[in-house]
Amino acid sequence: MHDTLAPLTPLWLKALGASLLVIAALVLAGVRIGSKGRARLAVILGVFLLASDLLIHPYLASRGLWKIGTCLPLHLCDLTAIFSWVALLWRNQKVYECLFYWGIPGAIISLATPEFTLAPGVINADGTLGGETLVFLHYYIAHGGILAAALYLTFALGMRPGRGSWWKISLLGQPMLLAIGMINWILGTNYVFLCEPPLVASALIIGDWPWYVLGMIILMVVASLILYLPFGLKYHGDTTGGD
């Protein structure tokens, strides 16, 4: 059984508020400091997110909590958490675009509707913090880091999604989902919630299986288009202006 954290409870408000403050501080610092400092901060943030991603696994193993059904990095936010530090450290355009389109909506929904899949005992029955404090912190570092990285790369480092990238990345996601679905079938797992919906109410989950999977794909494509629109309109304006 996974632990969930009900929205608008005191712990939910504190955790979300602290995450948003840290994200805003990082992005604002990146915008205001010089180019060298901006690049250094990107590396520091990338190494920190990488360390968090790596160190949680030996911690879980040491507690006897590492399980193949929950701990492989195959949920959408696990994948985009990897993209976050890869993009910060190496500035790869395609990785950045995957992070931008998949990470921003995924992280926002995960921060708004937390579900802790790595270990039991994260949240007590009364909604207070349980004994697995490191798992709780890792959740917010990973998901907050996704959002922080995407915004930092965009607003501080000046990276931009390329022309038409929203539909290209949407197409790229389909074979990835198929591969994860095959892994679920082989291992009997539920990564990306392709087999069963999450316990918490999510904006991406509408209806019953298998229809909610189709709805999840459509909503992610729509979210990608919405995220692309400000840049797409600028591209269109630049093209029009050059004629």
Average pLDDT rounded to a whole number, residues 195-211: 81
Predicted structure pTM score: 0.94
Q: Could you give the number of structural domains in the chain?
A: 1
Domain containing 31 equals: 3-242
pLDDT at 208: 86
pLDDT at 204: 66
Average pLDDT rounded to a whole number, residues 85-93: 98
pLDDT at 240: 58
Is the confidence at residue 239, as pLDDT, over 70?
A: no
Is the confidence at residue 148, as pLDDT, over 80?
A: yes
Average pLDDT of every residue of the chain: 94
pLDDT, one tens digit per residue, over 3-33 is 999 999 999 999 999 999 999 999 999 999 9
pLDDT at 186: 97
pLDDT at 243: 38
pLDDT, one tens digit per residue, over 118-139 is 999 999 999 999 999 999 999 9
Is the confidence at residue 242, as pLDDT, over 50?
A: no
Is the confidence at residue 227, as pLDDT, over 60?
A: yes
Q: Which range is least confidently modeled, 79-83, 183-187, 211-215, 220-224? A: 211-215
Q: What is the DSSP string of the chain?
A: --EE--TTSHHHHHHHHHHHHHHHHHHHHHHHS-HHHHHHHHHHHHHHHHHHHHHHHHHHHHTT---HHHHSS-SHHHHHHHHHHHHHHH--HHHHHHIIIIIHHHHHHHHHS-EE-S-S-SB-TTSSB-S-HHHHHHHHHHHHHHHHHHHIIIIIS---PPTTHHHHHHHHHHHHHHHHHHHHHHHT--GGGSSS--SS--TT--SSTTHHHHHHHHHHHHHHHHHHHHHHHHHHHHHHHH-
